[in-house]
Structure 1
Amino acid sequence: MSCYYCEKPATGMEHVPPQSFFIKGQRDGLISVPSCDVHNQQKSKDDEYVRAVLLSSAKLDGKEQLAPLFEVHLRALNRAGEQIPGRLKSEEDFQKFLEIAEKFKDDHAAGMKSFSELAQAGIGTGLLGLLSVDYRDEVIFDNDGNEQQTISYAFDTKRFNNFFKSMAKGLFFHESDWAWLGKVVLLPHSFLREEASEDEKFISKHYSSQLVRDDAKGEHKDVFYYDVGTELDSSGKEILRYVVNFCLYDTFEFTALLESKYFVASPEPR
């Protein structure tokens, strides 16, 4: 078997999306594709990071069906926090830790702000540090219309986008049984920049409207559903692009465009 991503010899199977994105006990019928080590085991930290970014979003507030995943997410963050003392390598690190703890002791978001500053001070904070980069205070409204103080943070866009491009390649392989080796254009609809142009907003709306939950594929649609289709040229004979639409947690929508002009032929027969 060949890897879904690069066509090198596969050494195992990878779930698309990762199995950890789903609730334990609700993991039947998951998609799996052949993968090499680089595009499976060695990206497990990316799986954890992206899952943490999504489950930390205020957009998921009120989704009680995801409660078991929130519990797993909180345990992962707690484990990361418990590991901090072991990462203080010197008296200077320890004093910095105490200084930062005192600085934020009365802050509503003391934990995440502390981890951010510890990371900036060069003290390893693992997942918590990654989830608190460039934080800023925010006020949001909960489902009852009450103001809630929170923070927002920047995430690693390149890492985030590469993860979902890989996921799109996996879904394409699952549907077509061949690897897309060319460029993937990712449209992260739920993360569209505020300064996006009107053309970008139009394109995003055009593709996001194509994914209809009831018609889409997926065994556990509270967590994930998808569809793969094609767009033809004006003659109706030539494929312009393959369109991979998918949604996570019934909230975060993405489209991946596999344009024919970016097609790369396999260097050798499969």
Structure 2
Amino acid sequence: MEKCYMCDRQATSREHVPPKCLFPEGKDMDGENHRSNLITVPSCDLHNTAKSRDDEFLMVSLAGIIGNNSIGYRHKFGKVNKAIRRSANKLLLATFKGKQRFYVVEVGPNKFVDVIWGTPDSERLKVCFEHIVHGLHFHHFGHTFKGRIKLHFAYLWSDNKNATSFRDLIKAKLDVELAGRDKFGENQGVFYYQITDRDQFDLYMFRLCFYGGINVHAAMIPEHADVQKDLAWMLVEGGIKTIFNVGDKKFEFN
């Protein structure tokens, strides 16, 4: 019998990775079907049916973000808004921590959209994306990942200078390392992923891309990896001005 993609329990079903609800159906997209050949992995009950609310949370969190492609926006104003209305806005408010601010933005002549600005529930997002990365790893390599995953949400804005520099640095490094590499996924307007080569410490990264503009980076640290402390990052953590170079780009910290 198959084992679960996340643990050593026996699999009882198959789980979609990423969740199926992120992929619009033809009936909601004027006949465009984005649910063909979705990735599935074997799952136990704990890691599939028990997290259905997290799947819906992730759908609401991602579909309406400014910068998405037209598929994301159409999904937001179709199925996602229906789900939000059914929950009396509870689904939408659950995506944020603390207070939110509401704006009306003009996107064209006499065309306006409502925009909500707030702090996302990053801990819950972390759980959602960890499940996705574990699933993709199982699908791609054929075995469960054992180790730590460090996530970076490249699409989130921060007013911290170091956080912004780190976001831009990681993006620049991945742009170089993944240039010309395969993009995996049958419905790439909704989702695709890429994987870097392993470095000398057996570390590697996944880049996940949703709706053409939402990037999530996952650093894979296998349990057997002997990770050395990097002097440059020790300087950054110590508050010392440090500059990293990627090609002709410079990224300053502190």
Aligned to 1:21: 22
Whose strand proportion is higher, 1 or 2? Answer: 2
Determine whether 1:240 maps to 2:208: no
Partner residue of 2:94 out of 111, 127, 130? 130
Q: Report the secondary structure of 2:168's partner residue.
A: helix
Determine whether 1:156 maps to 2:121: yes
Aligned to 2:50: 42
Q: Which residue identity lines up with residue 48 of structure 2 in the other structure?
A: N
Q: Report the secondary structure of 1:75's partner residue.
A: helix
Determine whether 1:79 maps to 2:44: no
What is the identity percentage for the equivalent residue pairs of Structure 1 and Structure 2? 27
Distance 1:259 1:9 in 2: 25
Aligned to 2:41: 33
Mapping of residues 1-150 of structure 1, within 5 Å: 1-24=2-25, 25-60=33-68, 63=70, 66-68=73-75, 70-81=77-88, 126-131=90-95, 133-138=98-103, 140=105, 142=107, 150=115
What's the RMSD between the two structures over aligned residues? 3.0
Largest Rg, 1 or 2: 1
Tell me the alpha carbon deviations over residues 84-124 of structure 1, each in whole angstroms, 9 at most, x when there is no partner.
Answer: xxxxxxxxxxxxxxxxxxxxxxxxxxxxxxx6xxxxxxxxx
Distance 1:209 1:18 in 2: 29
Q: Report the secondary structure of 1:4's partner residue.
A: coil
Determine whether 1:231 maps to 2:238: no
Distance 2:194 2:52 in 1: 25
Distance verdict in 2 for CA 1:131–1:158, change over 3 Å: closer
Partner residue of 2:219 out of 252, 257, 261? 257
Tell me the alpha carbon deviations over residues 116-169 of structure 1, each in whole angstroms, 9 at most, x when there is no partner.
Answer: xxxxxxxxxx3143146411244756367x987633122211000111111111
Once the 2 structures are TM-superposed, how far is the Cα of residue 8 of structure 1 from its aligned partner? 1.6
Gaps of 5+ in 1: 82-114, 116-125, 234-238, 264-270
Aligned to 1:109: none
Gaps of 5+ in 2: 26-32, 226-254
Once the 2 structures are TM-superposed, how far is the Cα of residue 254 of structure 1 from its aligned partner? 1.2
| TM-score of the aligned structures, taking structure 1 as reference length | 0.69
Once the 2 structures are TM-superposed, how far is the Cα of residue 52 of structure 1 from its aligned partner? 0.3
Mapping of residues 148-227 of structure 1, within 5 Å: 150-197=115-162, 198-207=165-174, 210-211=177-178, 215-227=182-194
Contact 1:211 1:246 (8 Å CA) reproduced: no
Tell me the alpha carbon deviations over residues 202-228 of structure 1, each in whole angstroms, 9 at most, x when there is no partner.
Answer: 124322554569831111111001122
Contact 2:151 2:219 (8 Å CA) reproduced: yes
Q: Which residue identity lines up with residue 23 of structure 1 in the other structure?
A: P
Distance 1:38 1:129 in 2: 26
Q: Report the secondary structure of 2:188's partner residue.
A: coil
Contact 2:183 2:192 (8 Å CA) reproduced: yes
Contact 2:15 2:48 (8 Å CA) reproduced: yes
